[in-house]
Amino acid sequence: MAKKRRKKTKKFLKKFFILVLILLITLMVTFFFDKKSFNKLTNNIMLEINKITSKIENTIKKYIKEKYDNIDLSDELTVMYLDVGQAESVLIKSQDEYMLIDAGNNKDGEKIVKYFKYLGITDFKYVFGTHAHEDHIGGMDDVILNFNIEHFYMSDVITTTKTFEDVLDALEEKQVKFETPKIDDEFSLGDANIKVIYVGNDSENLNNSSIVLKLTYKNIRFLFTGDAESSVEKTILDKDIQADILKVGHHGSSTSSSEKFIKNVSPSYAIISVGKDNSYKHPNKKTLNTLDKYNVKVLRTDELGTIIFTSDGTQFNYTNINTNIDGDK
């Protein structure tokens, strides 16, 4: 048997050698007698090689894309500013309870769901849509359809966009109520307290229909402002808005982050959820200057990817990881 196989291999090698020889002779002949055809032939060979290597590269890239950075969620408090490009989504875990503020763009939905499932999430105690713009509730229908949601909150300023209709349809399908919180309402998430600072009712400018929330865990405070602009900031200026970590309003646009507001919140860190090279040119220089003036350290999702804060209620740490949930990537 072994002899037969060796004979077969020998035969194959012989054939292969002859084939290579013919190819070489053809190449040499065309090279000497017809340089044009020779160039064409070599170009075609190079093109085929490039095609094969790019196919291999794409397969490798696809494999890497589906990998996430490992992360241990804190047993106490985790606040994750997800990198969803030019959009927004914040995942919060306090003890064993989960809450979500916004769900990125439509095309982020599927990826967000996949990532949350990877994290082992099955239930959300609270899901908030800060306002009805696509970059905040685009992926919300996917979230509603894939997880158990105890309470779903949005302001009652409604729109007729397909994105918003999709959210309503998903709620109906899962029989989840659409609830609107009241200003000063308080909720508990694990041992953390969530306070509703503001619920907008501006139907002309949806940004100002945003819900503003404050999370307090022992001594550490987070403020989430959706896309609320300066006029809302002015309204809540005298409220309990002081925070250690501020999610900057409206992706760092100049329409938010007025000086008085930043001064009153007096955060040590500011998170800007923003897409790389976005067409809005967010974050605005004016916003960055204001934050700089008040010595606020800026962390941007376009530079760091997903940003994660963990806290035991007296101190906090942050890190950044690769989550691959931006639908544009």
Q: Least distance (Å) from Zn ion to the CB of residue 251?
A: 6
* Number of residues lying near Zn ion (CB under 5 A): 2
Binding mask of the shown chain, residues 250 to 279, with x at each position contacting Zn ion by CB under 5 A? ------------------------------
What CA–CA distances, in Å, run from 113 to 80, 287, 318? Answer: 15, 32, 23
> In the range 134-153, which residues lie near Zn ion by CB under 5 A?
135
Closer to Zn ion by Cβ: residue 135 or 141: 135
Between CA 288 and CA 298 the distance in angstroms is 8
Closer to Zn ion by Cβ: residue 135 or 142: 135
Closer to Zn ion by Cβ: residue 76 or 142: 142
Largest pairwise CA distance in the chain: 92
Closer to Zn ion by Cβ: residue 227 or 244: 227
- Is residue 302 near Zn ion by the rule CB under 5 A? no
DSSP helix/strand/coil, 240:
coil
> In the range 215-234, which residues lie near Zn ion by CB under 5 A?
227
Structure tokens at 302: 């376009």
Between CA 324 and CA 77 the distance in angstroms is 22
Q: Least distance (Å) from Zn ion to the CB of residue 203?
A: 17
Q: Least distance (Å) from Zn ion to the CB of residue 241?
A: 20
- What is the distance in angstroms between the CA of the first residue and the CA of the last residue of the chain? 54
Q: 216 with 195: CB under 8 angstroms?
A: yes
DSSP string, 78-113: EEEE---SSS--EEEEETTEEEEE----GGGHHHHH
Burial class (CB in 10 A: 0-12, 13-18, 19+), 298: middle
CA 213 to chain centre: 20
Q: Least distance (Å) from Zn ion to the CB of residue 322?
A: 23
Q: Least distance (Å) from Zn ion to the CB of residue 226?
A: 7
Closer to Zn ion by Cβ: residue 214 or 251: 251
Q: Least distance (Å) from Zn ion to the CB of residue 37?
A: 58
Q: Least distance (Å) from Zn ion to the CB of residue 298?
A: 18
Closer to Zn ion by Cβ: residue 227 or 302: 227
Structure tokens at 83: 């990198």
Closer to Zn ion by Cβ: residue 74 or 255: 255
Q: Least distance (Å) from Zn ion to the CB of residue 227?
A: 4
Closer to Zn ion by Cβ: residue 135 or 229: 135
Backbone torsions φ then ψ of 18, nearest 5 degrees: -60, -40
Between strands 77-81 and 90-94, the pairing is antiparallel
Between CA 133 and CA 86 the distance in angstroms is 12
Phi-psi sector, 210: left (phi>0), alpha (psi -120 to 50), beta: beta
Binding mask of the shown chain, residues 118 to 137, with x at each position contacting Zn ion by CB under 5 A? -----------------x--
Closer to Zn ion by Cβ: residue 142 or 227: 227
Number of other residues whose CB lies within 10 A of the CB of residue 315: 9
Q: Least distance (Å) from Zn ion to the CB of residue 102?
A: 8
DSSP helix/strand/coil, 277:
coil
* Interacting residues with Zn ion (CB under 5 A): 135, 227
